[in-house]
Amino acid sequence: MKSVAIVQSNYIPWKGYFDLIGGVDHFVLYDDVQYTTYSWRNRNRIKTPTGLQWLTVPIWHTHLAQTIQETRVADTVWPKKHWHALEHNYSRAPFFRAHRDFFEELYLNTRSTRLSEVNFRFLRAICGLLGIQTEFSRSGDYRLAAGKIERVVDLCRQVGADVFLSGPTARPYINEPLFTAAGIRVAWMDYGGYPEYPQRFCPPFVHEVSIVDLIFNVGAADAPRYMLRVGAAADRSGPAGPARGQAS
């Protein structure tokens, strides 16, 4: 049985997004769809002593039908600003020093002018750090069918999927009979039940922040223990462990 998830790219997303990736055999970055403003595509949140702070990649939004793939980054200084924000707020976190070189290189050597490429770079790198071995591809690698749901079904078919794993927010528009007719079973991600971890600047504890918060606070080796699907996979394969959220 081959499972697949198809999700729009997010910038340094929360742990649930990575749990979704880790819960399937193949992950398709779905960036041939309309870019939406004030979304997780180009921004995410971190914790600070004064509350939550947005880290936003500045972009050019030139027309309403602009796709994520077409969206361009508006300046070249944002990587340094974001890295300095992480350094300032997490330098005293228990595992910041252990992962400092990894994230500093990831940020300061980011050169892409396309948002989709930026997100892809960060997603692949962080998956590697967490030990997630899911196969990646992008929607642009395939022939794209007409129709919102028909396109997703056809992508699943082209990947060779038997199971399509979706986030719960897609329930209102997922037409399961279309998947069933194609021989594909729809499974639903459950973001309930995440354990809390030792998080700085509490209370309150906040699940829905960037994955970097989990990594800097508990370390990449132990992070899967706080991610239900990735953690279960890690326990099956050897030592390493879903709340509300951003993945859809």
pLDDT at 44 > cutoff 70: yes
Alpha carbon distances (Å) from 221 to 85, 139, 216, 238: 23, 30, 11, 12
Q: Per residue in 71-100, pLDDT tens?
A: 999 999 999 999 999 999 999 999 999 999
The one-letter amino acid at 113: T
pLDDT of the residue at 172 = 87
Return d(Cα 122, Cα 49) in angstroms, integer. Answer: 25
Return d(Cα 58, Cα 42) in angstroms, integer. Answer: 7
Q: Per residue in 214-242, pLDDT tens?
A: 999 999 999 999 998 664 544 444 433 33
Q: What secondary structure does DSSP assign to 57-82, as a single string?
A: --EE---TT-BTTT-EES-S-HHHHH
Which sequence spans correspond to the domains of the chain? 3-237
How much is the CA Rg of the chain, to the nearest whole Å?
18
Cβ atoms of residues 115 and 123 within 8 Å = no
pLDDT at 213 > cutoff 70: yes
Residue 241's H or E segment, with its range, is none
pLDDT of the residue at 164 = 97
pLDDT of the residue at 244 = 41
pLDDT of the residue at 235 = 47
Q: Per residue in 102-124, pLDDT tens?
A: 999 999 999 999 999 999 999 99
Q: Per residue in 178-207, pLDDT tens?
A: 999 999 999 999 888 899 999 999 999 999
Alpha carbon distances (Å) from 69 to 140, 156, 213, 246: 9, 20, 27, 20
Q: What secondary structure does DSSP assign to 131-144, as a single string?
A: T---EEEEGGGS--
Return d(Cα 59, Cα 90) in angstroms, integer. Answer: 26
Angle at 42 between CA 126 and CA 248, to 5 degrees: 75
Mean residue pLDDT of the chain comes to: 91
